[in-house]
């Protein structure tokens, strides 16, 4: 009433105590770990435990001192090629000891690394090399023939003799604000975009992991993620900042029996595994695993119930644009969907409405991220960077990253994930959040995972389709009855497709493009028609 001309959206809904709680109290995330670079973090640990095993593959082991020396030699060679701070070094190698040496060598030279998965199509690799302008590419003779035409310097590690170079750490003008890595993620324009991440957030992430993942005593960390995803950064920090051992498994997908065999045979104590991969294995058959971190996608309550028993299980959340991880949950238990938890060290999070006003406790809004771990932005994409990285109205001279994720604060000061702001669907005039339907389906004891999407029927109208990974012969009609008993009619899926498992991308996340088309009308339940259809789904996923 005192300012009748102001927009309603500008009216402050919170009193001073509530604002302090959201801005300060719940973002008081622990000690400041400084901004040590990745080489500094590794070299500190190597000096403390030089003879401990740092890296293990099916056919070799390296101690911290050996790994440090090998990476130093490669770093000196890269510097001789003109590599230094903020220069990108491409790495196209299969999971191997050489891959880890390449990462450390590039970082020790002062450069940033650009992961290039050998599984990517040649055209995608060519785009990434051309867009990034990386002047040096580390690979081996097995990969070099399938690589695209490239203007820069190609270094084949298996043909490189580094023995004549000193194994002491090279001089480097490297600071926390310099680039550590550039990871390409899918883009809405049809071309991937490179996320440029500095060293500034790595020390805080390492400190949070040490504290919340119980990284004390002998640790064996599974190297599960592809180097092309920032989960691999978390895995390397888990091992190398705690004096632990990074274990590289044998080639092949880590699912089902192969995942269990790897966990047990290598006595893995700590692992970061996607819920989709966990749903293919029996938790009771992995007794050695002490700490399990899940992330990358929503984790069903049934997966929490199965895998949290007898071990520490933590839900970790974070976009590539914010140094891999910005929240961690308390240790999980029971069968409820896990919360995102609280901010990691050196990170601050805000739930804001469309006018960038603080959303009160319990009210949904978009999750914005601030802190030392924010990426510089998108490589060579100033317009997109300005769109997603905006000025922080609650921190002078700082930026916020718009995550696109919906969340809300609980009364206990934890963040609860509510889905994506861009995955809302509209069916017959109703606006629907698929996550609510998925939560209902996931409560069925035989359903390990579900996803709900809107598809066009033969008549052209949009209808909800549920895809569930289930065991024990559960029928789609039974699942529809379950949904009808707990949801309004417009939220009950028109078709339920029951599969042995949901299709996955190479990083272990759900591959939505490979979900088979349902048959609308008549039966509301459909299995894949034959083995060829399942095979084609997998083939299309690889091509895409």
Question: pLDDT band for position 277 (50/70/90)?
Answer: confident
Task: Give the span between the Cα atoms of 342 and 326, in whole angstroms.
Answer: 8
* DSSP-assigned beta bridge partners for residue 470: 447
Q: How much is the pLDDT for 2?
A: 87
Q: How far apart are CA 195 and CA 176, in angstroms?
A: 17
Give the residue with greater pLDDT, 28 vs 471.
28
For residues 525 and 235, the model is more confident at 235
**Can you give the pLDDT at residue 334?**
87
CA atoms within 13 A on the CB side of 376: 20
Q: How far apart are the first and last CA of the chain?
A: 56
pLDDT, position 488: 64
Chain-wide mean pLDDT for the chain?
88
Confidence band (pLDDT; 50, 70, 90) for 430?
low
Strands 136-139 and 88-91: parallel
Longest dimension (CA), the chain: 79
357 CB burial (10 A radius; 0-12, 13-18, 19+): middle
Q: How many angstroms separate the CA atoms of 497 and 162, rounded? A: 55
CB 289 within 8 A of CB 269: yes
Phi, psi of 50 (to 5 degrees): -65, -30
Q: What's the whole-number mean pLDDT along residues 449-477? A: 82
Helical H segments across 241-351, by residue range: 256-265, 275-278, 301-307
- CA 368/CA 405 separation, integer angstroms: 8
**61 pLDDT higher than 70:** yes
In angstroms, the Cα distances linking 90 to 95, 102, 362, 511 are 15, 9, 44, 26
Q: How confident is the model at residue 99 (pLDDT cuts 50, 70, 90)?
A: very high
The residues with which 366 forms a beta bridge, in sequence order, are: 352, 406
Residue positions counted in the chain: 544
Question: What confidence tier does 326 reach under pLDDT thresholds 50, 70, 90?
Answer: very high
Q: Which residue has the higher pLDDT, 90 or 491?
A: 90
Instruction: Compute the distance between CA of residue 494 and CA of residue 357 in angstroms, rounded to an integer.
Output: 38
252 φψ region: left (φ > 0), alpha (ψ -120 to 50), beta (else): left
Q: CB–CB of 355/9 below 8 Å?
A: yes
**CA 111 centroid distance within chain:** 23
Domain boundaries along the sequence of the chain: 13-31+347-420, 425-543
**59-64: long-range pairs with CB below 8 Å, 24+:** 60/97, 62/97, 64/243
Q: Where are the alpha helices (DSSP H) in 12-96?
A: 16-23, 38-48, 64-80
Query: What confidence tens digit (pLDDT) does each residue in 169-207 have?
Result: 999 999 999 999 999 986 655 478 899 999 999 999 999
Residue 467 host element (H or E): strand 462-470
Output DSSP code: residue 491. G
Q: How many CA atoms lie within 13 A of 151 on its CB side?
A: 9
Measured in degrees and rounded to the nearest 5, phi and psi for residue 359 equal -80, 135
Q: How confident is the model at residue 64, as a pLDDT? A: 98
Just give the CATH number of 425-543: 3.30.300.30
DSSP state of 356: S
Residue 428: pLDDT band (50, 70, 90) is low
How confident is the model at residue 434, as a pLDDT?
82
pLDDT above 90: percentage of residues in the chain? 63
Domains 13-31+347-420 and 425-543 agree in fold: no
> Half-sphere exposure of residue 454, counting CA atoms within 13 Å on the CB side?
18
More confident: 10 or 66: 66
Please state, as a whole number, how many other Cβ atoms lie within 10 Å of the Cβ of residue 489: 9
Which helix (H) or strand (E) segment holds residue 425: the answer is: strand 425-427
pLDDT tens-digit map of 35-60: 899 999 999 999 999 999 999 999 89
Write down the pTM of the prediction.
0.80
Nearest one of 81, 105, 111, 91 to 156, comparing CA atoms: 91
Q: Domain spanning 13-31+347-420: which superfamily?
A: Luciferase; Domain 3 (2.30.38.10)
Please tell me whether residue 48 adopts helix, strand or coil conformation: helix
Give strand ranges (E) for 168-311.
179-185, 193-198, 220-222, 245-247, 270-272, 291-294
- Spell out where 340-393 has E strands: 342-343, 347-352, 365-371, 377-378, 389-391
How confident is residue 426, by pLDDT bands cut at 50, 70 and 90?
Answer: low
Q: Where are the alpha helices (DSSP H) in 58-216?
A: 64-80, 97-108, 122-132, 141-144, 202-212
């Amino acid at each position: 009433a005192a300012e009748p001309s102001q927009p309603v959206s500008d009216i402050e809904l919170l009193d001073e105590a509530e604002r302090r709680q959201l801005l300060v109290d719940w973002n008081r995330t622990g000690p400041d770990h400084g901004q040590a670079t990745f080489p500094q973090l590794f070299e500190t640990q190597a000096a403390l435990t030089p003879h401990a095993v740092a890296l293990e593959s099916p056919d070799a082991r390296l101690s911290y001192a050996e790994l440090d020396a090998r990476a130093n030699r490669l770093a000196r060679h890269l510097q001789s090629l003109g590599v230094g701070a903020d220069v990108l070094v491409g790495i196209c190698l299969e999971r191997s000891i050489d891959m880890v040496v390449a990462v450390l060598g590039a970082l020790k030279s002062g450069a940033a690394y650009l992961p290039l998965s050998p599984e990517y199509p040649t055209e995608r690799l060519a785009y990434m090399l051309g867009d990034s302008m990386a002047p040096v590419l580390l690979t081996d003779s097995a990969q070099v023939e399938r690589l695209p035409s490239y203007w820069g310097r190609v270094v084949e590690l298996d043909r490189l003799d580094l023995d004549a170079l000193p194994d002491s750490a090279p001089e480097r003008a490297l600071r926390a604000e310099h680039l550590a890595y550039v990871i390409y993620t899918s883009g809405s324009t049809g071309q991937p975009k490179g996320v440029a991440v500095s060293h500034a957030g790595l020390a805080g992430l390492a400190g949070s992991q040490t504290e919340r993942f119980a990284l004390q005593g002998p640790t064996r960390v599974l190297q599960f993620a592809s180097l092309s995803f920032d989960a691999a950064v978390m895995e390397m920090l888990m091992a190398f900042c705690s004096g632990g051992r990074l274990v590289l498994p044998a080639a092949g997908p880590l699912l089902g029996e192969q995942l269990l065999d790897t966990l047990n045979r290598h006595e893995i104590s700590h692992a970061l595994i996607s819920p989709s991969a966990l749903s293919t294995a029996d938790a009771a058959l992995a007794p050695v695993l002490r700490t399990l971190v899940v992330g990358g996608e929503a984790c069903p309550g049934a997966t929490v119930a199965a895998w949290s028993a007898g071990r520490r299980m933590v839900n970790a959340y974070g976009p590539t644009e914010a140094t891999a991880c910005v929240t961690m949950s308390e240790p999980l238990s029971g069968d409820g969907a896990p919360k995102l938890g609280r901010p990691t060290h050196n990170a601050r999070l805000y739930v804001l409405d469309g006018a960038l006003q603080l959303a009160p406790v319990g009210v949904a809004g978009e999750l914005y991220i601030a802190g030392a771990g924010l990426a510089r932005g998108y490589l060579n994409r100033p317009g997109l960077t300005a769109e997603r990285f905006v000025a922080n109205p609650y921190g002078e001279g700082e930026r916020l990253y718009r995550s696109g994720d919906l969340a809300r604060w609980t009364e206990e000061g934890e963040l609860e994930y509510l889905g994506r702001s861009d995955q809302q669907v509209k069916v017959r005039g109703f606006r629907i959040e698929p996550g609510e339907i998925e939560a209902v389906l996931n409560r069925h004891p035989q359903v390990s995972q579900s996803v709900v999407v809107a598809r066009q029927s033969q008549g052209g109208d949009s209808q909800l389709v549920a895809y569930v990974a289930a065991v024990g012969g559960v029928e789609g009609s039974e699942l529809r009855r379950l949904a009808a008993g707990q949801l309004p009619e417009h939220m009950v899926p028109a078709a339920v497709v029951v599969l042995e498992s949901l299709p996955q991308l190479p990083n272990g996340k759900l591959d939505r493009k490979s979900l088979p088309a349902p048959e609308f009308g008549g039966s509301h339940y459909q299995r894949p028609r034959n083995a060829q259809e399942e095979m084609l789904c997998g083939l299309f996923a690889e091509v895409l």
